[in-house]
């Protein structure tokens, strides 16, 4: 059963201005995310915008918005490059409290905008 849906967009130009700001990166992105972003070369800001939008989309799917440290939401990628979430801390607790068993994530980039959609699924 679907427990919630979240959608968010982020301007890539906003991330282009912040990508060299180590404090911003350390405040909002996990170590794994920072490594992934930095490995993207010319598309690093686009990737960063997509990950940021994905974090906000998850908060919306849970119905809480930004309720805790965004580093507790990690957007990782499988061997084929598909994004997925890894939660810790308060966001893991919120998902458990809402009986959310799975999240589905899609990220796209077009015309200077990154967008992400998150579907939260509940067991029973």
Residue 86: its H or E element: strand 83-87
CATH number of the domain encompassing residue 44: 3.90.470.20
What per-residue confidence (pLDDT) applies to 124?
A: 64
User: Which one, of 114, 118, 115, 71, lies nearest residue 91 by Cα?
Assistant: 71
- At 123 the pLDDT is 81
**What is the residue range of 82's domain?**
2-122
pLDDT digits (tens, 9 = 90+) for 5-43: 999 999 999 999 999 988 999 999 999 999 999 999 999
**Counted domains in the chain:** 1
Residues 6+ apart with CB under 8 A from 91: 58, 59, 62, 67, 68, 72, 73
Contact (CB, 8 A) for 122 and 98 = yes
52-101 pLDDT, tens per residue? Answer: 999 999 999 999 989 889 999 999 999 999 999 999 999 999 999 999 99
Question: CB-side exposure of 87: number of CA atoms within 13 Å?
Answer: 19
pLDDT reported for residue 67: 85
pLDDT, average across residues 101-114? 97
Say what the pLDDT of residue 89 is.
96
């Amino acid at each position: 059963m679907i427990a919630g849906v979240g959608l968010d967009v982020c301007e890539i130009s906003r991330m282009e201005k912040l990508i060299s700001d180590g404090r911003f990166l350390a405040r909002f992105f996990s170590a794994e995310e920072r490594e992934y972003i930095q490995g993207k070369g010319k598309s690093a800001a686009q990737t960063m915008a997509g990950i940021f939008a994905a974090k906000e989309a998850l908060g919306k799917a849970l119905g809480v918005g930004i309720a805790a440290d965004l580093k507790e939401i990690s957007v990782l990628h499988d061997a084929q490059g598909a994004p997925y979430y890894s939660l810790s801390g308060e966001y893991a607790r919120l998902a458990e409290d809402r009986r959310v068993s799975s999240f589905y994530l899609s990220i796209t980039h077009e015309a200077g905008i990154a967008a992400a959609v998150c579907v939260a699924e509940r067991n029973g």
